[in-house]
Structures are given as structure tokens and as C-alpha cells.
A and B are shown apart, each in its own frame.
Chain A
Amino acid sequence: MTRPLIGAALALAMLVFGFGVYHAAGLLKVDHSMVNRPNEITAPALPGTVYLAQRGALYRFRNGSFTQITPEGGWMQPAVSPDGRQLVAVQRKTNYSDLFVLTATGRPTSQITHNNTSALPEYNHWVFYPRFSSDGSTLFYDYDHKDGYSSYQVDLAIFATPTASWRSSVQWSIPHPYTGGDVSPAPIQGGIVFTKFWIDDQSMVHSQVWLQARPRSQGVPLTPKDVNCVQPAVSADQKSIAMICTRGQTQSTELNVASYDATTATLGIPTTLVKAELIASPAFSPDGKSIAYLAPVTPGGAFQLWTVGVSGNPAPRAFTTTLGLDSSSSPVWVAN
């Protein structure tokens, strides 16, 4: 009687061992897909408030905790009015995107653009990268004004609209055709800075931080073509510009900061604050002493919130490690 019991127990133990080996092998697998929602984690506190986007939702980061302020519904690229009382953000759908005004707590109050049409997909429009002027009177943004003669040409150009009425938009930039266009406007004393793309005779793509004083004016480059800089951010005092530069590399980026002289419309010699695999979307702190940016903490990982001092001190510091932040949505860092 005992022998069959022992035999059965051993057989069961072998079966369990086999399953154990199966699952142990699975535990050795490297899993890169673990991403938390921001409101599932806490992080070291930053002064003020930072607005961020992840998986189609907007989040507010204050006192070390994240609050989800919109549902996951295509929300991205928040901008905050200078008085901090309202947001403008992009809501992106399959074929189009629109700008909405939201309260600081994320409740939509009005729709600024109406880019959806149920007709053919190509009749829809994109709108991206909203940014308030420093006095809050104007909203700059990107819009794909179509070329009526070439249905394949879709280039983003920078437009501006008065915030008092949200009507009568004015086209500011004239993009180089078939480059994807001009993006990431940032208002600055004397106009706007933005990223302009062009393709040279050797089919090399170049990106430059560009300064433009008036709608449809020629503008001037602030960075050399071979440094390939994108995503300019302007400090609150408008004396510094942060940007991401690649120097033509495909998997290596720099976070650079340079002084800006409005009288001569020139940048000083840039300082490289961070050099890493991939860095995105810098934004100055309200006091101009720090820069927030997005970058992975591990090679190939999802994007996290980092900060670095504008002088390089304090050193780069990751505030999150398990998020999957939208790297095309610059953090918006405000005082309150």
C-alpha cells in the first residue's frame, strides 16, 4: 500500500518539477514591456507643477505624485497659459487631430479646431505643438495646410491664432516641400523659434533651430546645418534656448543649452548638458535654473522624466523609471 503511494507522490513531484522548470525558463526572459501609468507610482518631488502625456492621457505631476487629468483618449502636447488657468492640448485621432481648451484640471471647455471630415481621409488635417505667447494673447501651433496641386504633399507649417477669439489664423512659416515641414514653435522675444527641416543635394536631412520675426518672413537659422538640432525650448527670461542635437548620429543625442541675444538674434556657443542614447523634448523650469527632459533610463527603454541643472549641476537625475511617457509631448513646467 505504501509503495504505490510513494510512487504516486514521486510521479506528482516529477510533474511539478517539470512545470517548475517550464516556468523558471520563462522567468529568465527579458521583458521590456512593463510600463506603469503615472498615477500608479510616486516620484521625488519637483518644485511647481509639470504636465506630461502618456498613452493618450494628460497627467499633472505635483508634490511627487501624478494625477491623471484626462482619460486615455488621444490627448497629447499640453500647453499652459501664462496665468496657469487654462490648458490647450492636442487630441489625436486616426486621421486628424484637434486643439482643445481645457481647465487646469483637464476638463475640455471648447474646441479650437475642427479638422475631422468623414469624407476621404486626405481631406482631414493635423494640428500639433500648441504654445502660448508669453503674454498669452497668441497661440502658435502646427497645421498641415495642404497643397491643392499635389495630394501627396503634406507638410506642417506654423500658424498663430489670437486667444481672445481663436479665429483668423495666420500662417507664419513656409516649410520646404516634402520635408514634413516646420515644427515645435516656441515664442521668443522678437518672434518665434522652431525646427526647420530641409534635404540637401546628397539627400541628407538637416534640421535647424530657426528664428522668424514676422509671419511669412524669411527667418534666419540659429544653429549650423550639420549639428542637426530640433525641439527648441525657451527659458522664461527668454535669454536661453535648450535643444536636442544629433550631429548626424542615428542613436546618439545631446541636450544643449545656449544663451540667446535678442538684439543680434544670435545664439551663444552651446553647452552640452547631457549626451545619451536618445533625449527628447526639453523644457525649462519656471526659474530657468533646471531643464526637464524625456529619455530612457535603460538602452531601448521607454521614456522617463529627467532633470538637469542648466549649468550641468545638479547632474542629470531620473525622476521616474517605469513610465512610458510620450516623447513628442514636451513637459510643461509651471510655478504653481
Chain B
Amino acid sequence: MELRRPSPMPRAWIVIAGFLIAGIAGLGAYFLPVFETAANSTLGAGSIPNLNPAATPTQPFTVLLLGSDDDAKFPPDRLNTQSMILIRVDPTTKQATMLSIPRDLWVPIPDQGTGKISTAYQIGGAKAAIAAVESNFKVHIDDYVWIGLNGLVKLIDELGGVNLFITNPVLDDFYPADLNPNGNPYDYYRIAVLPGASHLDGVRALQYARSRHGDQRGDFARSERQQLLLLAIKAKSKHWNIANLPAVANVMNGEIKTSIGLDRLRALLAISDDFDGTHIHRVVLLPPYTNEGYAAGQDVLFPDWGRILPLVHQSFP
């Protein structure tokens, strides 16, 4: 009895399938850091209050940006947020608003009592920070992104630096030398970021955005510089494409936490070109919206909600 030879078609398909699988495996290997970072950094939807996963790229959405000193001064699970910026993006009108929330703002924090708003994250993580902002500012937050110091430096270096116009010299004799994990986190050094158009690497950009001692406006100046740095990062990342994501994911692994899933990220990338600096409204809660004071043995900022809430609701309806 003669054995029937298999027809050549299935064999060809097997070879094609083999090449397809090899190609997909190659792509998968290339994008593996993205999936790993997404798995490590994305918080489950259920753990964020009032999360709105149904928002589509055509609907306005809000993101709370949180920045922490994640050096050895603080236990990894007890970080406060040195920077809190609430962003609202309206894809239809192509308008965006950035509201810097002062870290020393003295507010009721749900389940924690009254304290500086920066401590909400320290005690209750992103969930508590979001709850504090939502309950005090009467806004809804869709997503959050938390980033550590080293993460910001690495992100900017991965971008190849950012371009900024430095409005005035930023000089500080007591700038924290806390980026080196093996150094003394209480050491400090001097910085001088010179004015004018500049191309800043990650460390210099962080100095620019973090320094607060030598400016008449203290933390408010820092808030403004942080907003300008965000705009510069956005301007630079405009030239990215999806092939840049694995390298970014590699450098950011462990330095970023977010509730933004890959779907939302893709949608954000798709609309990012529509926003330039002229359509981004920047708000800093300077006096008289806030007033310096003293509470529980520390310098704080007291909010004037009668002024703040109407201002916030203009931009965060």
C-alpha cells in the first residue's frame, strides 16, 4: 500500500505561519518592556475612586499628575507628593488646563483628618491623593500618573533633553543631592540654571523644576516652572512614535505608576499633536487664592475656597 504524500499547500502554510510567528515574537520581544511596565505600574481600576474608564478620546478627561521625592529620606511606601498638577484635556475644543495644587495647602483629607495635601499620598497612596483633590476642589479625576525623581530624569534623558526658555536665573545654595541611591540623602549642593533659551538634560531640568530657595515666589515659582517643564516634555515627545515606547518603558520601570491603560495612552498619543502651548491654560494658586499661615507646628498655605472654587470650576466644569 502506497503512503499518500501530504499536499504541498499545507507545508507552505506551515512555513508562512512559522515566519509570521517569528515576526510576532520579534515584535513581542521589542515591546516586552511596555507590557512589563504596564503590568507593574498600572493600578487596578477598582482601587481608584470614581474612575471613569468609559471616557473616550472625544470626551474631556482629567489626569492628576503626582511627583514625589522618592529618595532614601522616605520609606518607599511613605512618599509625599512634592508636586500635584491637575490637568483637564478637552479633545473637542483642543483646550487644556493645568492647575498646580500647592503642596502645603492645608485641607481636610478624607479618612486622615486635616493636613497638608501633599501628605494624602504618603498615608493613603494615589487613592487618597485623588480623594483629597476631588473632595476639596469639587472636581472629578479620571486618571492619575505618579512619577519619581529618577523617573523624570530618565524620561527627559530618553527624550534627548528638553528645550526651555528660562525666564530668570535659578540659583539655589541648598539643592538636595538625593539622586544617588548610595549617597547621603540629606546632602545638598549649589545649582545655577542660567537664563535664556536652553537645552536641558534630565538632571538640569529637574534642578530647574525643583529648586525653590532662591526665588521670591518660593513654591509658586516652582509650580510655574514645573508646568513649563511639562509643556517642554510634551513638545519634545510630540516627535515620538510607538517604536520609542519600549525604551521609555525600560527607563521608567518602577519610577512611574498610573491608572492609564495602554488603550488610553494610545488615545492620548493620538490627540497630543492637537495641543500646543497656546491652547494650554496654566493656573497657579497664588495669593489671594491662598494665604501663608501656621498650623500644627508647620508653615502651611490656607486656601480661600471662595476664590478658588469659582476659578477651578471655570476650567474644570
CA distance A28 to B246 in the complex (A): 12
Residues 122-165 of B contacting A (Cβ, < 8 Å): 157, 159-165
Which residues from chain A contact B4 at a C-beta distance below 8 Å? none
Which residues from chain B contact A128 at a C-beta distance below 8 Å? 192, 194
Residue of B163, B174, B217, B220 ringed by the most chain A CB atoms within 10 A: B163
CA distance A17 to B29 in the complex (A): 13
Residues 1-34 of B contacting A (Cβ, < 8 Å): 15, 18-19, 21-23, 25-27, 29-31
Which residues from chain B contact A231 at a C-beta distance below 8 Å? 196
Check A253 against B195 for contact (C-beta < 8 Å): no
Which residues from chain A contact B19 at a C-beta distance below 8 Å? 13-14, 17
Residue of B22, B190, B197 ringed by the most chain A CB atoms within 10 A: B197
Contact flags A67-97 to B (C-beta < 8 A → 1, else 0): 0000000000000000000000000001111
Check A25 against B188 for contact (C-beta < 8 Å): no
Residues 279-336 of A contacting B (Cβ, < 8 Å): 279-281, 294-296, 299-303, 324, 327-328
Check A29 against B244 for contact (C-beta < 8 Å): yes
Chain A: minimal CB distance from B14 (Å): 9
Check B243 against A278 for contact (C-beta < 8 Å): no
Given contacts A18-B26, A26-B30, A29-B244, contact A179 B165 (CB under 8 A): no
Check B22 against A18 for contact (C-beta < 8 Å): yes
Chain A: minimal CB distance from B163 (Å): 5
Check A154 against B240 for contact (C-beta < 8 Å): no
Residues 1-50 of A contacting B (Cβ, < 8 Å): 10-11, 13-15, 17-22, 25-33
Residues 99-117 of A contacting B (Cβ, < 8 Å): none
**Does B216 make an interface contact (CB < 8 A)?**
yes
Give how many A-B residue pairs fall within 8 Å (CB-CB): 200
Check B196 against A327 for contact (C-beta < 8 Å): yes
CA distance A249 to B213 in the complex (A): 25
Check A154 against B26 for contact (C-beta < 8 Å): no
CA distance A299 to B25 in the complex (A): 35
CA distance A279 to B198 in the complex (A): 9
Contact of B168 among A10, A32, A205, A253 (CB under 8 A): A205
Which residues from chain A contact B298 at a C-beta distance below 8 Å? none
CA distance A335 to B188 in the complex (A): 44
Query: Which of A195-203, A214-222, A233-241 lines the interface with chain B?
Result: A195-203
Residues 21-51 of B contacting A (Cβ, < 8 Å): 21-23, 25-27, 29-31
Contact of A17 among B23, B173, B197, B277 (CB under 8 A): B23
Query: Which of B84-92, B112-120, B231-239, B308-316 lines the interface with chain A?
Result: B231-239
User: In chain B, what residue has the closest Cβ to A302?
Assistant: B199
Check A154 against B173 for contact (C-beta < 8 Å): yes
Which residues from chain A contact B195 at a C-beta distance below 8 Å? 180, 183, 195, 197, 207, 230
Which residues from chain B contact A244 at a C-beta distance below 8 Å? 196-197
Check B171 against A155 for contact (C-beta < 8 Å): yes
**Does A152 make an interface contact (CB < 8 A)?**
yes
Check B214 against A10 for contact (C-beta < 8 Å): no
Chain A: minimal CB distance from B173 (Å): 4
CA distance A96 to B173 in the complex (A): 10
CA distance A213 to B217 in the complex (A): 30
Check A154 against B30 for contact (C-beta < 8 Å): no
**Does B241 make an interface contact (CB < 8 A)?**
yes
Check A152 against B174 for contact (C-beta < 8 Å): yes
Chain A: minimal CB distance from B302 (Å): 18
Chain A: minimal CB distance from B213 (Å): 4
Which residues from chain A contact B215 at a C-beta distance below 8 Å? 178-180
**Does B206 make an interface contact (CB < 8 A)?**
no
Contact of A32 among B159, B231, B277 (CB under 8 A): B159
Contact of A30 among B172, B174, B192, B239 (CB under 8 A): B239
Check A18 against B23 for contact (C-beta < 8 Å): yes
CA distance A77 to B35 in the complex (A): 45
Chain B: minimal CB distance from A160 (Å): 19
**Does A266 make an interface contact (CB < 8 A)?**
no
Check B160 against A33 for contact (C-beta < 8 Å): yes
**Does A181 make an interface contact (CB < 8 A)?**
yes
CA distance A38 to B169 in the complex (A): 27
Check A295 against B192 for contact (C-beta < 8 Å): no
Given contacts A178-B214, A181-B169, contact A21 B27 (CB under 8 A): yes
**Does B189 make an interface contact (CB < 8 A)?**
yes
Contact of B163 among A10, A202, A296 (CB under 8 A): A296
**Does A64 make an interface contact (CB < 8 A)?**
no
Given contacts A94-B189, A179-B168, contact A152 B199 (CB under 8 A): no
Residue of A128, A153, A295, A328 ringed by the most chain B CB atoms within 10 A: A328
User: In chain A, what residue has the closest Cβ to B170?
Assistant: A180
Given contacts A251-B277, A302-B161, contact A154 B172 (CB under 8 A): yes
**Does B286 make an interface contact (CB < 8 A)?**
yes
CA distance A206 to B296 in the complex (A): 37
**Does B268 make an interface contact (CB < 8 A)?**
no
CA distance A128 to B196 in the complex (A): 14
User: In chain B, what residue has the closest Cβ to A175?
Assistant: B169
**Does A226 make an interface contact (CB < 8 A)?**
no
User: In chain A, what residue has the closest Cβ to B244?
Assistant: A29
Contact flags A143-162 to B (C-beta < 8 A → 1, else 0): 01000000111111000000
9 contacts between A and B (CB under 8 A): A20-B26, A30-B241, A30-B244, A95-B189, A178-B215, A199-B168, A244-B196, A300-B163, A302-B199
**Besides the known contacts A17-B19, A28-B243, A180-B195, 14 further A-B residue pairs in the complex with CB atoms under 8 A apart:** A20-B26, A25-B30, A32-B161, A33-B157, A121-B173, A154-B172, A154-B214, A179-B215, A250-B231, A251-B231, A277-B163, A302-B161, A324-B199, A327-B197
**Chain B interfacial positions (CB closer than 8 Å to A):** 15, 18-19, 21-23, 25-27, 29-31, 157, 159-165, 167-174, 188-190, 192, 194-199, 213-217, 220-221, 228, 231-232, 235-236, 238-244, 247, 277, 284, 286
